[in-house]
Amino acid sequence: MSELDEILEQYPSGYEALLPILEDIQDRFNYLPEEFLKAVSERVQIPLNRIYSVATFYNAFSLKPKGKYVIQICKGTACHLMGANLLSEELSSLLNIAEGETTKDGLFSVESVRCLGCCSLAPVISINGKVYGNLKPESVKKILKKYKK
């Protein structure tokens, strides 16, 4: 039995199962592979175009593989004013990728978000949900070292 079958067996057919199924796939594989979306369509009997509509509407879902560690750079007002763009430039330089991309080794993905809700710690980044605040560009390298081990 495949990992996808294990996920699909937990849910009934119909629209009410779609979001939990997509969340489980995203959690397990770090993205929503196209062939999995086709299988979900057949299993829950929802047209594939509807599944794509849901998958592309929510920011939590990705149609492209993400890294083991997803780095979110807060671009909210407070973070922007406190130097979020400098953090973004430093991350791009250190990882050799732009926002929205994944490193070739599949270890890191970098994305920007509107606000992480930690304005008093601006500027902030989040790595798989762990927030790092009051950052300067030079502190980013030290943080990344923890995840490269």
pTM: 0.80
55 class by beta-carbon count within 10 Å (0-12 exposed, 13-18 middle, 19+ buried)? buried
| Domains (range + CATH), the chain | 3-57 (no CATH), 69-148 (3.40.30.10)
Which residues, at least 6 apart from 4, have a Cβ–Cβ distance to it below 8 Å? 25, 36, 39
**Would you place residue 47 in the very low, low, confident or very high pLDDT band (cuts 50, 70, 90)?**
very high
* Residue 83, pLDDT score: 96
Neighbouring C-alpha atoms within 13 Å toward the C-beta of 120: 0
Q: Where does the pLDDT of residue 3 fall: very low under 50, low under 70, confident under 90, or very high at 90 and above?
A: very high
Mind giving me the DSSP string for 30-42? SS--HHHHHHHHH
pLDDT digits (tens, 9 = 90+) for 95-129: 999 999 999 999 999 999 999 999 999 999 999 99
pLDDT confidence of 60, banded at 50, 70, 90?
confident
pLDDT band at 149 (very low <50, low <70, confident <90, very high): confident
Quick one: which of 107, 30, 28 has its CA closest to 62?
Answer: 30
133: DSSP letter: -
Q: What is the mean pLDDT of the chain?
A: 95
User: Which candidate, 147, 31, 26, 59, places its Cα nearest to that of 95?
Assistant: 147
CA 147, CA 101: separation in Å to the nearest integer?
17
* pLDDT at site 91: 98
